[in-house]
Amino acid sequence: MSKIGKLPIAFPGTVKVKIHESVVTVEGPKGTLHQRFEPQYVTVQTEAQQVLVKRLDDTKAARARHGLYRSLIANMVKGVQEHYKKTLVLIGLGYKAQAQGNKVVVDVGFAESKTYVLPEGVKAEVANQTELTLSGADKHKVGLAAAEIRMIRKPEPYNGTGIRYKDERVRHKAGKLAA
């Protein structure tokens, strides 16, 4: 039995979980999320403020999806209670970020500013010009948006410049030494 899959997902009274055919809908104070599941492999039930994910048989495909759907639903329950956050730091001379509605504009050493359109449900806040915080109820969308913004200018190991996560450590390399 999957160690993760067999754990029940507890949710408070402020969160409502509805299961209709092969879709789980989670509503909470921070938003509403939907997740499809494959009923040929797992069943999802609610009872006494808990969500239970059970697999139908012991095939490899069912075992793989058991823990997956349990984790996805647990992330949804947590996301509608409190938003997921990712913080990016821009390190470099003249590097800065601006949040403009559903867009993030970053100046990271290119001739022109790069604009990234945020997915629906993700918000961006700029504390100072070099620190960008993305937040939202959907863990996948927040992480994907942060990764795509980071890809605009990945951290460079020689000077340490670029866009990185706040808790990320970039190992510095020694450059070529003059003879």
CB burial of residue 123 (10 Å; 0-12, 13-18, 19+):
middle
What pLDDT score does 4 carry? 83
Looking at residue 87, its pLDDT comes to: 96
- Listed by start position, the domains of the chain span 9-81, 84-165
The pTM for the full model equals 0.88
Name 83's bridge partners.
none
Q: Taking Cα atoms as reference points, which of 80, 83, 59, 69 lies closest to residue 13?
A: 80
| Closest alpha carbon to 52 in 113, 4, 106 | 4
Tell me the CATH number for domain 9-81: 3.90.930.12
Report the pLDDT value the prediction gives residue 5, as an integer from 0 to 100: 85
Q: In what order do the strands lie in the sheet with 9-10?
A: 9-10, 50-55, 42-46
Mean pLDDT by 10 residues, the chain (179 residues): 83 91 93 94 92 92 92 94 95 94 93 95 93 96 96 92 92 80
Closest CA to 136 of 83, 74, 73: 83
Same fold, 9-81 and 84-165: yes
Q: What is the pLDDT of residue 78?
A: 95
CATH says 84-165 is which class? Answer: alpha beta
